[in-house]
């Protein structure tokens, strides 16, 4: 039977490319978002991934149905700008829950249940490793995703479950095309190219790779 791949945050441009890459190679794909909208040959589940209880209930349901994942992608994320001085408690909580909390609760269940040979890929951000002005809470929350990846890779090494992260910079999405300059878009990376790296990390071909933080910034 084909492996099950759980894609958390599969509704966006990058998430959709990840789903296409994994389904295209024959995985049974479960797409999780706040709403279970959409069609295609994938299973769709609605859950608030910032809620530990809802994430646990989701995994219970999948396991009971014979859909226990081998591969997990944590691709939920969001952005708000602002410096530390401009920040407010609500924005910090929002970005921490959305960027770190979703990856944390999903990874917690994966750490408890993934079989030997399973793997997790978290989607971080270039902002998490390069401090820059104007996106303080976003950068800090994504930096935490990177450290979560490293800690979890160490935690799960004895069980031979691998954990890695990819770090996009600018992604070539419709939203970015509508808002960014031509120069910024020249360096944007198509979602499918990032998805192919994720698919590799979620494969037996990457059996020797864990704890890696992989830049997917593109060239140029």
Domain that holds residue 164: 4-216
List 138, 141, 161, 195, catalytic entry: 138
Q: Please count the structural domains in the chain.
A: 1
Per-residue pLDDT 10s for the chain (220 aa) are 899 999 999 988 999 999 999 999 999 999 999 876 656 689 999 999 999 999 999 999 999 999 999 999 999 999 899 999 999 999 999 999 999 999 999 999 999 999 999 999 999 999 999 977 899 999 999 999 999 999 999 999 999 999 999 999 989 888 888 888 888 788 899 999 999 999 999 999 999 999 999 999 988 6
CA distance 163 to 65: 25
CATH number at residue 151: 3.40.50.720
217 carries an active-site annotation? no
- Write down the number of H helices and E strands in the chain: 8, 7
Q: Are 127 and 170 in contact (CB under 8 A)?
A: no
Predicted confidence at residue 38, as pLDDT, reads: 58
Q: Which residues pair with 28 in a beta bridge?
A: 4
Question: For the whole model, what pTM was predicted?
Answer: 0.95
Q: What is the CA radius of gyration of the chain?
A: 17
CA distance 94 to 31: 22
Predicted confidence at residue 176, as pLDDT, reads: 82
Beta strand residue intervals within 124-193, DSSP E: 162-168
Tokens encoding 205 = 């071909």
CA distance 100 to 3: 26
CA distance 149 to 218: 22
């Amino acid at each position: 039977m084909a492996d099950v791949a759980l894609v958390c945050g599969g509704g966006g441009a990058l998430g959709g490319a990840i789903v296409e890459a994994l389904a295209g190679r024959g995985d049974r794909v479960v797409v999780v978002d706040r709403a279970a909208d959409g069609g295609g040959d994938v299973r769709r589940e609605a859950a608030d991934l910032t809620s530990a209880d809802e994430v646990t209930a989701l995994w219970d349901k999948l396991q009971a149905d014979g859909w226990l994942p081998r591969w997990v992608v944590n691709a939920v994320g969001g952005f708000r700008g602002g410096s530390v001085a401009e920040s407010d408690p609500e924005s910090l909580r929002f970005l921490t829950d959305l960027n770190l909390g979703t990856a944390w609760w999903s990874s917690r269940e994966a750490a408890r249940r993934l079989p030997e040979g399973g793997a997790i890929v978290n989607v971080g951000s270039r902002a998490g490793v390069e401090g820059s002005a104007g996106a303080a809470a976003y950068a800090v929350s994504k930096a935490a995703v990177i450290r979560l990846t490293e800690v979890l890779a160490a935690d799960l090494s004895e069980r031979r479950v691998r954990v890695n992260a990819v770090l996009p910079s600018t992604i070539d999405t419709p939203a970015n095309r509508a808002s960014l300059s031509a120069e910024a878009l020249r360096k944007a990376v198509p979602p499918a190219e990032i998805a192919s790296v994720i698919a590799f990390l979620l494969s037996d071909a990457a059996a020797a790779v864990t704890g890696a933080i992989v830049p997917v910034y593109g060239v140029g």
